[in-house]
Amino acid sequence: MADLHSVASQLVESGRGILAADESVKTMSTRLTAEGIEVSKQARRDYRELLLTAPGLAETITGVILSDETFNDSLADGQPFPQACRDRGLLPGIKVDTGTSPLPKGNGATITEGLDGLGGRLADYAAKGASFAKWRAVIDVQNTSEYARDANAHALARYAALCQDNGIVPVVEPEVMCDGGHDLDACAEVTAATLVAVFDQLDRQRVDPSGMVLKPNMVTPGLKAEQVPAETVASATIQVLSSSVSTDVPGITFLSGGHSNETACDYLGAINDHAGSAPWSLSYSFGRALVSDALHTWHGDPGQTEAAQVALLANCRRASAAGRRRSMASGATN
Ligand code: 13P
């Protein structure tokens, strides 16, 4: 069975991060439509192939999270996606949650689904080459409650324990949404309470923190609120993480949450500047902040594939530079 700690450490190696290219069929189809691209399985495949085959992607990316559709699909030349990842020096990952539903009696909060039969699915993904998996819980600042946080934390820990039992590194994603007009303090309070609940459940359910990766939001005001300097985001984020995250976790890879590449990278750079002696590698697992420009540039036109890859690689390089700021400042090597 895989050495979970060594795979988790590989995923968060300094200066590289994880590419989240795991939008569900529904979400990916919505994004294609928004760009005026005709929706089809072929379009989704061509787009994911474009991302994965960007020349030198592994210089800034350690692993790629795939959706079930892509994971079980092949490149145009017939090579299965997981193998195509490995051949390019990228660890293949798989999103295993099946989305959110209203949480019963949750007053508008959601619960993430996908636990039924998950052990069998993970065994199958592992046999097909998956090194890591992702599960996203969604916490909305407007309608959160202790109940909603605990229910989602419990499901995240069930998922993480099942992953580790199947030799797969869990990427644990409790996302406090950036949508809305809440201020920085509200995000900090909800993020801290969520992470405390998550680590309590991980501990109760015997998840080894040294064999997982945490994928949280950065602590920011809501996207509709007045924004604050990157240094303020950084110190709030480090403070929240320091009060809630196990020191045995090898690395934290932030999601981008609707922030642009430039903003998300500014925040990540400042977080690394402020990290001091924090025990974790602080890196990225951005989706939109890495891929949106590539999708826009590609526009479904095979003639634009190379230009789209250039756009993706530029965004990855900016994130990688932000991730390296800490090691340049402190000499840290993890
Ligand atoms: P964003 O970076 O676009 O928020 O996506 C990350 C992700 O994996 C969401 O589950």
User: What is the band of 97 on the pLDDT scale with cuts at 50, 70, 90?
Assistant: very high
Question: Per residue in 16-51, pLDDT tens?
Answer: 999 999 999 999 999 999 999 999 999 999 999 999
Contact call for residues 202 and 181 (beta carbons, < 8 A)? no
pLDDT (0 to 100) of residue 57: 98
Residue-wise pLDDT for 100-142, tens only, equals 999 999 999 999 999 999 999 999 999 999 999 999 999 999 9
Owner of token pair 């795979």: 7
**Which protein residue's CA is at the shortest distance from atom 8 of ligand 1?**
20
Confidence bin at 330 (pLDDT 50/70/90): low
**Integer Cα distance of 289 and 269 in angstroms:** 14
Q: Judge contact between 157 and 196, C-beta under 8 A.
A: no
Say if CB 223 and CB 183 are below 8 A apart.
no
**Ligand 1 centroid from CA 200, angstroms:** 24
Q: Does 249 contact ligand 1 (Cβ within 6 A)?
A: no
Q: Whats the size of the chain, residue-wise?
A: 334
Nearest alpha carbon, ligand 1 atom 4: 257
The pLDDT > 90 percentage for the chain reads 96
Alpha-carbon distance 22 to 32, whole Å?
14
* Catalytic site includes residue 41: no
pLDDT band at 2 (very low <50, low <70, confident <90, very high): confident
- Token pair listed for 200: 């309590």
Burial 100-122 (b: 16+ CB within 10 A, else e): beebeebeebbbbebbeebeebb
Residue 288 CB–ligand 1 contact under 6 Å: yes
pLDDT in the model for residue 334: 44
pTM of the shown model? 0.97
pLDDT at 82 over 80: yes
| DSSP letters spanning 139-171 | E-GGG--HHHHHHHHHHHHHHHHHHHHTT-EEE
Region 4-328: CATH code: 3.20.20.70
The residue nearest atom 5 of ligand 1, judged by CA position, is 287
Distance (angstroms) between ligand 1 centre and the Cα of 173 equals 9
Active site residue 105: no
Mean pLDDT value across the chain: 96
Say how many Å lie between the CA of residue 207 and the centre of ligand 1.
23
- Across the range 213-229, mean pLDDT stands at 98
* Residue 332, pLDDT above cutoff 50: no
Predicted local confidence at residue 127, as pLDDT: 98
CB 272 within 8 A of CB 325: yes
Residues 6 or more apart whose Cβ sits within 8 Å of residue 248: 208, 209, 210
Mean pLDDT for the stretch of residues 237-260: 98
For residue 318, give the amino acid letter. R
Choose which residue among 132, 159, 255 to substitute to test ligand 1 binding: the one with the highest number of ligand atoms within 8 A of its C-beta.
Answer: 255
Q: For 167, list phi and psi in degrees, rounded to 5.
A: 75, 25
CB 97 within 8 A of CB 114: yes
Q: What is the pLDDT of residues 252-306, one digit of tens each?
A: 999 999 999 999 999 999 999 999 999 999 999 999 999 999 999 999 999 999 9
Range list of H helices, 166-287? 184-204, 230-244, 261-274
Catalytic site residue from 134, 173, 189, 224: 173
DSSP-based three-state secondary structure for 62? strand
Q: Which of 215, 224, 231, 262 is catalytic?
A: 215
Per DSSP, 59 falls in state G
Q: Verify whether ligand 1 is closer than 6 Å to residue 20 (CB atom).
A: yes
User: Does ligand 1 lie within 6 Å of residue 186's CB atom?
Assistant: no
Q: What pLDDT is attached to residue 60?
A: 98
In a 3-state reduction of DSSP, which class is residue 105? coil
| Beta-strand runs (E) in 118-225 | 132-139, 169-176, 213-214
